[in-house]
Structure formats: structure tokens, C-alpha cells
Structure 1
Amino acid sequence: MEPRRETLGPQLDFLLHEPLSRTRGGDSLQKQLLHRLRAAVLDGRLPAGSRLPGSRALAEGLGVSRNTVTLVYDVLGTEGYIEPSRQGTRVAALARPEPADRAHPAPATLGRRAERIRNRDPGGVDSFAFASGVPALAQFPLAAWRRSLDRVLLRGGTELLGYGPPRGEPALRTAVLRHLALARGMRCAPEQVVITEGAQEALSLCVRLVTDPGDIAWVEDPGYRGAQTALAGGDLTVVPVPVDRDGLRTSASDWTDRPPRLVCTTPAHQYPTGAVLTAARRLDLIEKCRRHGAWIIEDDYDSEFRHSGEPLACMQGLTPAAPVFYVGTFSKTLFPSLRLGFLVLPEQLVGRAAPVVDELLRGGHRHEQLALAHFMESGQYGRHLARMRRLYRRRRDVLRAALVEHFDVPHTVTGGDSGMHLTVRLPPDVPDRALAHAARRHRLAPRPLSPHSLNPDTAPNGLVLGYGNTPESAFAPGLRQLSHLARALA
């Protein structure tokens, strides 16, 4: 069909200035016409009240089938751009916001809670040397994990494609409970265990359960930035509390002048300094929180990898009914993209919190949860942890020796009793942010230490060197490169 200009009218001349394309593989005539008419209504070329040709006339004018035009009119009518009247189809009256003044554009603002969140360090790539918080991915037993997944897929079928229990699959909650009782000396019941989408969701869930905007929350300084983000996202007043060689250090004036509603701590292996919170400070913190009606988040992110002696007992199990939320993750013990963590609710809170959690969460990752439950119950999880403990202990020792031999910048090393990283303190004339930024260009991903502090005046200067996913052969050349970059900055 050939287009016929006389059937359209002057308001629709724009449809003839650039005819509809009939190129093979391009958008259909229907989609092209729909987009053009919709755009003309929105930009005012077809003002409110304009009468459109009938479907037959418009089809003849454009040289398309009447069915194409009818379908386009149906969509525009459903969307509210056009409406029928006694005089035919007319353009509907729509509110059109005034365009923003280029000199004074409309503000693009976030909410108050979101505005408080700052990305102070872009981080690196998991595959780069010295990336922290990343386990030895190449050592993960993929074949065993695949068998667990296949078993679940064969047995579960399509039933597992729907939503699951909000607090997680019962089989995984039970497996987590058994593991915590054996490995961490934990006292808890199955209804206290909640499976989360990683530790970050668990931290945010704690904030939502027991705090109100403006409440005071204490964080370790320097400390884990994920905890700082969760607290800022809850619109809490975040108070940095210093860390020394014995972990979180509070004073009597802290409890008098700024008593917290929530305290975030990494007692088994403080991140990033590697300090261990002493038993005396743990018990004192629990007692003071009880007295002030405060809650503790015990982030136990990598305590499975203690390199000397048995894993330390968790705070949650130190005393009956401790006011402690216990947070764990499989990102460090297995692999990060699994996105599974867990939260153990305080015993005295579970009755009121569990129904709320059931409303806040939606069960998912059902195949992965059930596969992980089988992976744990079959003994594969325990065997993998044992292998990784040996591997990380050896890598820690090799990295310590390599720092002595190949890193010729004045420094001190802290941590190393647990986990997958060492912390290196540097002199102030070697700025850690600039050094970490320069290192990324050489496929090195140490984290600067200073962004972990909320107090810029007392922020420590140094690097967090992860060795979990870095082979020993990369230590010496990586440290020599860091030495070269540090000397260039000093």
C-alpha cells in the first residue's frame, strides 16, 4: 500500500516526513507507529483534544494494514493517551511537567538514609592479588557441590521453583544449628536460625528489628564498612568506638554520655586489625548491654579459620539469654556468589521477632539452600573447612616471610591469628588510598586501611592484604611492586 498524504491531515505530517521503516529485522510497523504517536502526544505535537483519523483513514494514509492501526489505537487507549468521543478518537488531556531549567535543573536527591551512605573505597577485583575477604575459589570442591545440586534438582523437581519458607529451608537451618553447636559452642533452638541473603542482609535485618531512626549505634573504629553501611541505612546515629590489641575498647563515659541501642563487633577476629576481644571485655559488654537495654551484633565472619588452637567460643553462648544477634556467612567459607548467610536471633526476642521476619523476608534460593544442607550433612563442608584452614595457615606464614624479604617500606604487621588477611601499618608519608589506587593498575587489590575509620583525624594508615584467593607465587612479585609504588608516592 502506498501512503496517501491527503487522508492524514496536517497534524500528522510528521509521520510522512520520515516514513515507517520496512527494513527486514527492524522494529515492526506496529511498534514504530505506537512509539511515534505516543511521543507526539507527550511532546505536544498532538495536543489534548486533537482528533485523530479513523483507523481506516490512518491505515490508508500510511500505507499499512488497518489491523496495525487498530492494535496501536487499542494500546494507546489502554495507556490513557487517547480516548473515544462522539466526534471520534481524540488525544486525552495529560499533565505535562514543565521542562527543567538547564541553568537550575531539578534536584536529584536521595532519601536521608541513602545520602548518609558513602562509598569511600571502590575496592578491587576478586581475581587480583591481595583482594581481601575472598576465599580460595580455585580450591572449592565443585564436583561435590554439583552432586549436591543434582541431588536436589532430581528430588525436588518443580516444587522448589516456588517461594520457600521466609526464614529459610528447615533442612539448612538444622544443618547450621548442628554446625554451630559443634564448632562454636552455641546455645540455640531451630526457631532462632534465619537464613539470609548473605551477612549484609542479616546486619540490616538486625537494625530493622530493634532500632528506630536516630538511635545510637556503636561500631568498631576502624571497622567493617558493611556494618557501618547497615547502620547508616537505618538512619542511626553511628558512634565510632576505638579498637586496641584487645578489641573494642569502651569507657565508663561512653555508657554515660552516649549509651547505645546497638553495638556491632567482630570479637573473634576484628576486621580489619585482627584483634581478639578478650573474655573480660566480652562479659563486660554483655553485662553493660543488659543493663542499658542494648543489643549486640556479633559478626563472626571468618572465625572458622583460626590458625592456632581451637576456634574461640562465640559471645552468643557465653551466658544464658545473652542479648546477642549472631551473624555468619558462607561467602568466606565457600564462595561469595552463593549469597547465603545466617542470623541467630536472641532467645528472648525470637517469639516477637520471628513473625516480623516472616513478613519482611521472602524465601528464595531454595535449590542452593537444600544443596548446602546436603553438602554440610554429608561431611563435605567440614572436610572443606579443614583443607582451607591448612591452606590459609600456610599462606599466612608465606606472606609474613615475603613481607620481611620483599616489602622494603617501613611497616608493622597486625593480625594473622585467624582469617584470610594481614593488616600492614604504613608511615604517614605513604598515603594508603593513593597506594591502593595505583596498585589496581597492576592487578593488585589491597584495601586501604584508612577508609575503615569514621574518624579522619585518627584514621590508621595502611593496607589490608588478603591472601585467601592469592597463590603464594604471587606474594613476592606483588610486594615488590607495592614497594616500588610506595617509594614513588613518598
Structure 2
Amino acid sequence: MIDTTLSDTASASLLSSPLSRGPGALPRQRQLIQRLKQAILAGQLPTGGKLPSSRALSEELDISRNTVLIAYEQLTAEGYVIADRQGTRVAPLSAASRSAASQAVAPAAAPLPATARRLSRIVSTRYAHDGSLPLTPGTPALTQFPVNAWRRAQDRALQAAPATTLGYGHPAGEPALREAIAQYLRVSRGVHCDASRIVITEGAQGALALCVQLLTNAGDTAWLEDPGYRGAKSAFHAGDLNVVAMRVDADGIVIPEDAWTTHPPRLIQTTPSHQYPTGAVLSLTRRLDLLERARRAGAWIIEDDYDSEFRHQGEPIAAMQGLSPDAPVLYVGTFSKTMFPALRLGFLVLPQAIAAHAMPSIIEMLRGGHRLEQLTMAAFIENGQFSRHLGRMRRLYRERQAALRDALATHLGIDHEVLGGHSGLHLTVRLPSAFPDVAIVEQARKLGMNPGALSSFALVPREEDNGLVIGYGNTGAERFPALVRRIRDVALGLGGSTPPPR
């Protein structure tokens, strides 16, 4: 037994027990550190107890002295022991500290601290699924993306500034991309903006979260389209906002007259050019009325223009933000639909009234990143590749939507109503209540299809919210007849009917 000043015989025995050796054993240095930590936290090595010298302990355990020295140095750095001229002694630890730290070394079954109350309001409506499955809403035709053109643009961006692109960028985004977006929006969407008012975000979701951070306090009221975009609901709940559902009809969001006084909003979320998920277009009368009433109420409108580039009949519908130079509108856009979701680039156009005031705070709140992707996107826009890609995708999606409409009319075999559908990457199909949409979707996913349940987009689902949100962006036109028949069989089976013979 080694000579030690520790009075407890068990403590001395602990230090003299041999370390594990052979295949599968941890390095002896790590074993020694873990053994001493656990003994100190468990009180087996009491506060102030002097540990054996490095030479004595190395001889007792038959390990190198350097192994012991390194272990003692690590324990000293982490505050377990104190080393001075008198030797190495166990550092003083309170009982509470020992208890908390011992759980970190050997976790017990004690419950974790409760999460923030707001998390209980963010209810998951998603299923774990493969987004590449056919009929997935919101997924573009990734196999048609011009990868080689994107790679060339990326190479040029990296070669132009190989070192600087690896560091932090401007918190509001790369100036080249902000300028390219401003020029594109002015021409294609009629948006009033310049680069100084644009903030690059982590997709549209990042833009929505930033709107909440900039313009609201906990307890403020936000109006949300119903059924509507689930990401906006999550962003509002994460900001501790009081979310009030505003129903949607064939002309877009419907705002009761008394809502302005009974539930005065701070934020109003809307997708006016192509309502998600119903496909409705907000009428001009309602747009102008919403702008005027929001201005009078001191409210801000979030215009989510998520897929307006894909208009299949006539010209694209101009952005609501462009109806007035001083519109109280925060314009949100994303490249997830026009490019590819993994790019995670979105943008927010701030109103002139708050841009100068908000930008200094934004610069402190955000950190510039994804510089290579941003510079590549800027080059992709400037060299015309973005416009050419959009043109190809418009033609493709127009063909796919027409094929899906034909398949639904020919093969669904169930009374249904197709909503909206003149834009975007999906069609919404309303079904009778006898065919429950959530159950249909659950079974469809087991069969390799991934439509969405319309009712899952509503805060408080109604009977008319029963239906399917069917994506066609990632699915070839030739597949729709068979896929629609498969959905028909699932629906009829759940509705108590016998599927017809194939």
C-alpha cells in the first residue's frame, strides 16, 4: 500500500487498485483521470486530502510517471485539485457542487429543468419523412437543377476572393447579393427597395423570426392566415405572441371588421400572391384595405412571397408591397423554391420607415456567414442563369400541374374540389369529411407518397379543411395517373368503400 496522508483506508485502496489493461481498455491516463474525478465528487477523496506524489502513484499503479503528472495537471486545470509546494491536495467543493458535478460524470435519473413555456405552444404537425418522395408539397424539381452552371459560378466566386470568403461577412448579407436581389425585385415583382433595406436570412423562416424580433414584444397579437403556413405559426409562438387565426376564402385572407378593435394586431402574416396552402390570390380591394387599415392601426404586414415566380396563367401578380412607396410591409422571399431547399438563403426587405433605425440592431444581432453561397447566388443572378432557370422551371411546372389536374379528374374517383392552383408547386384538393385527410396521408406515406393533410395547416380545423396538399414540383408528369389511383384506393379503403378493380 502506498504511503499517503489520506486517512480513509478506502481512499488509499482506491488509489492502489490496478488500472485496466489489454484490448478495449481506455488509455491509462484517461482511466486515472476518471477514477480521481469520480472519487473526489463522491467524497471518497475528502477536501484537503493530500494525493500521493507522482512518483509514488506511478510505482503503485505500474504506469509511467508522465501519465500521473499529466493526469494531475488536467485535474488542476479543471479545479479538482490544488497543486502547490506542499503537494497536490483535493480542492474544496461544496456538497451542492459535488452533487451537481457527480450527475455530469455519472448522470442520474433526475429530471431536467423544464423548457420554456412557449415550447408547449409549438406543436409538431410534421412526420419524419423523405422529402424526395413523390407528391411532396414545396419541393422543386431538384433533378432539373443546373448543377454544372452553379458549380462554375461557385468556382468563380471562390477564385475571385479565396481568402476573404472564408471569414465573417457583413451581418446583413453580402453586398453583391443584396444589390442583385434589389434589382431583380424591382423589375420582376414591382417591389420598392434598394440594397440598404435588404437583409439576407437563413431561408424564409429566418426572415419571419427576424420580423418577430424586430417588431414585437411578448404578448403582442399576430394575425395568421388559417389554414396557413406552419412556419409562421411556429415563429409567432416562439416569440410569445398571441396568435389569432384569420380565415381564408377564394379571395384570400378575411378580416372581420371588429377584429381591429377586439384583437388589434402588431403583425399580420399573409401570402397574397399565392396563399399557402389554398392557392387563393388576395384581391386588389382587400390588399388596399389591408394596407390602409394596418397603417391606421400601427400594424406591420409580413408579405411572404414564397413562390410567386411560378405563375402558370398570365403574368406574375405584383407584390402588395409595391402598391405604395410607404407601405407598412415587410417583404419576405426565399430561394428554396426557385433554386433548392438546402441553399437556405432567404431575404427580408425592410420598410423605409424602420430600415435605418433597425439596421444597427440587426448588425449586432446577426453574424455574416454562408459567404460563398451568397456570392455564388449573386453571380448566378447577374450572369442570367437565374432567369434562364426560372424560365425552364415555369414551363416544366405548368406541364406537371396540367398533368396532375388531368389525373385527378380521371382517376381520383371521389367527389373533390381543386382550390387555387394557378401558381406554385402544389395543388390543394378538398375532400368530403368521410375521407379523413390525416389518415389518408399516414397510409400514403407507407406506400411511398408524401402529400400533406390540409387540416394540419389550420390552427382550429373546420370541416372544409379536410383535404390533400399535393406537390407536383418533384414528380414527373407520367407518374401522376398511378399515384392518384393509389391515393384513391387508400381513401376509399378508409371511407368504407371497396376500391374498383385495376
Alpha-carbon distance in structure 1 between the residues aligned to 2:128 and 2:271: 21
Aligned residue number for residue 483 of structure 1: 488
**Could you report, residue by residue, the CA deviation over 1:84-109 in whole angstroms, capped at 9, with x for unpaired residues?**
36753222233133799x99953542
**Could you report, residue by residue, the CA deviation over 1:267-325 in whole angstroms, capped at 9, with x for unpaired residues?**
00000000000011001000000000000000000000000111111011101210000
Bigger drift between 327-336 and 403-412 goes to 403-412
- What SS does the aligned partner of 1:89 have? strand
Aligned residue number for residue 362 of structure 1: 367
Which residue of 308, 311, 326 corresponds with 1:303? 308
Aligned residue number for residue 60 of structure 1: 59
Q: Supply the RMSD in Å over aligned alpha carbons.
A: 2.1
Distance 1:232 1:428, change over 3 A: same
Aligned residue number for residue 99 of structure 2: 97
Bigger drift between 45-54 and 297-306 goes to 45-54
Query: Where does structure 1 lack aligned partners over 5 or more consecutive residues?
Result: none
After TM superposition, the score normalised by the length of structure 1 is 0.94
Aligned residue number for residue 72 of structure 1: 71
Alpha-carbon distance in structure 2 between the residues aligned to 1:26 and 1:105: 29
Aligned residue number for residue 19 of structure 1: 19
Distance 1:18 1:422, change over 3 A: farther
Q: Is the 8 A contact 2:141 2:473 kept in 1?
A: yes
Q: Is the 8 A contact 1:123 1:447 kept in 2?
A: no
Alpha-carbon distance in structure 1 between the residues aligned to 2:199 and 2:366: 10
Please tell me the residue identity of whatever aligns with 1:412.
E
Whether 1:382 aligns to 2:384 is no
Aligned residue number for residue 500 of structure 2: none
Alpha-carbon distance in structure 2 between the residues aligned to 1:371 and 1:389: 22
- What SS does the aligned partner of 1:185 have? coil
Please tell me the residue identity of whatever aligns with 2:164.
E
Distance 1:91 1:458, change over 3 A: farther
Alpha-carbon distance in structure 1 between the residues aligned to 2:473 and 2:3: 73
Q: Tell me the CA shift for residue 418 of structure 1.
A: 0.3
Please tell me the residue identity of whatever aligns with 2:272.
P
Distance 1:177 1:43, change over 3 A: same
Q: Is the 8 A contact 1:124 1:446 kept in 2?
A: no
Q: Is the 8 A contact 2:19 2:28 kept in 1?
A: no
Aligned residue number for residue 297 of structure 2: 292
Which residue of 276, 300, 320 corresponds with 1:271? 276
Please tell me the residue identity of whatever aligns with 2:452.
R
**Could you report, residue by residue, the CA deviation over 1:107-160 in whole angstroms, capped at 9, with x for unpaired residues?**
542112223211122263221011111110000000000000011111111121
Please tell me the residue identity of whatever aligns with 1:489.
L
Which residue of 404, 407, 420 corresponds with 1:402? 407
Alpha-carbon distance in structure 2 between the residues aligned to 1:103 and 1:86: 37
- What SS does the aligned partner of 1:348 have? helix
Whether 1:281 aligns to 2:283 is no
Q: Is the 8 A contact 2:41 2:99 kept in 1?
A: no
Q: Is the 8 A contact 1:330 1:340 kept in 2?
A: yes
**Could you report, residue by residue, the CA deviation over 1:50-90 in whole angstroms, capped at 9, with x for unpaired residues?**
33211111111111111111111111111111123675322
Whether 1:331 aligns to 2:330 is no
Aligned residue number for residue 42 of structure 1: 41
Q: Is the 8 A contact 1:269 1:418 kept in 2?
A: yes
Which residue of 165, 182, 188 corresponds with 2:187? 182
The number of residues matched between the two structures is 484
**Could you report, residue by residue, the CA deviation over 1:417-442 in whole angstroms, capped at 9, with x for unpaired residues?**
00000001122122211221121111
Alpha-carbon distance in structure 1 between the residues aligned to 2:320 and 2:12: 74
Distance 1:396 1:372, change over 3 A: same
- What SS does the aligned partner of 2:414 have? coil
Bigger drift between 465-474 and 367-376 goes to 465-474
Aligned residue number for residue 347 of structure 1: 352
Distance 1:87 1:246, change over 3 A: same
Alpha-carbon distance in structure 2 between the residues aligned to 1:12 and 1:314: 78
Bigger drift between 28-37 and 135-144 goes to 28-37
Q: Tell me the CA shift for residue 327 of structure 1.
A: 0.3
**Could you report, residue by residue, the CA deviation over 1:189-245 in whole angstroms, capped at 9, with x for unpaired residues?**
221111111110100000111111000100000000000011101100000000000
Whether 1:204 aligns to 2:223 is no
Bigger drift between 287-296 and 446-455 goes to 446-455
Please tell me the residue identity of whatever aligns with 2:40.
V
Please tell me the residue identity of whatever aligns with 1:185.
G
- What SS does the aligned partner of 1:349 have? helix
Query: Where does structure 2 lack aligned partners over 5 or more consecutive residues?
Result: 496-502
- What SS does the aligned partner of 1:223 have? coil
Q: Tell me the CA shift for residue 30 of structure 1.
A: 1.6
Bigger drift between 50-59 and 355-364 goes to 50-59
Alpha-carbon distance in structure 1 between the residues aligned to 2:128 and 2:439: 12
Distance 1:50 1:479, change over 3 A: farther
Alpha-carbon distance in structure 2 between the residues aligned to 1:18 and 1:328: 64
Bigger drift between 371-380 and 53-62 goes to 53-62
Identity across aligned pairs (percent)?
52
Bigger drift between 461-470 and 239-248 goes to 461-470
After TM superposition, the score normalised by the length of structure 2 is 0.92
